[in-house]
A = this chain, B = another copy of it.
Amino acid sequence: MSPTITAFKSSPDRGRGLARDMRVRWALEEVGQPYDVRLVSFTEMKEPAHLALHPFGQIPTYEDGDLALFESGAIVFQIAERHAGLLPDDANARARAVTWMFAALSTVEPPIMDLQIAKLVERDKTWSEQRLPLVEDRIRARLGELSNRLGDADWLDGAFSAGDLMMVSVLQRLGGSGLVDEYPNLSAYIARAEARPAYKRAFDAQYAVFLAASSG
């Protein structure tokens, strides 16, 4: 039995691959694990059946036999632990790859999400325009540090890992803001990840959902 993940029936990003199911699709493609997708509407996400799977009423979720998980970070980790291809064999290198997963989600993503909130949720507020530069500078601080650490390496620590997968997914959320473009090595890092066949397969799969929903 293939695992089943959930994704937006109608993704707010219009198929640009920024919804969090993309991370899980990408991880599954990297390890060559087929999967099924169940699409959920915004209404369904807040209903008891989905809340039983995901207490915060979001996507993605992951069901594999009698195991049910939520949180893209935890799901990607589960996939990486169960299949070869996303975590190094060496114990120390593996711990460092896991560290980058947490860094992506706990340190780099929060200011980026704050920008999305500022631009979307608080767009019409009186403070929106004045506050935006502060939020952007908090992102720049993180991007500068990340750029310094990456240097001219291809990936964050040796071979491509679940840490890179998660970091790239987080950085992609800045697309269109111009912020990543200020750090050429980060732009190249994202491009390198997006060129991976597994990424492309995952992207196409989520884009097909958008196309089908648009024509429906």
Contact = CB atoms under 8 A, between A and B. Distances in A.
Q: How many copies does the complex hold?
A: 2
Contacts of A32: none
Interface in A70-101: 70-75, 77-78, 92, 95-96, 98-99, 101
A55 interface: yes
A57 B51 CA distance: 37
A67 to B, nearest CB: 5
Contacts of A101: 74
A103 interface: yes
Nearest to A131: B127
A102 interface: yes
B70 A99 contact: yes
A69 interface: yes
Interface of A: 51, 55-58, 66-67, 69-75, 77-78, 92, 95-96, 98-99, 101-103, 105-107, 109-110, 113-114, 117, 121-122, 125-127, 130-131, 134, 138, 142, 145-146, 148-149
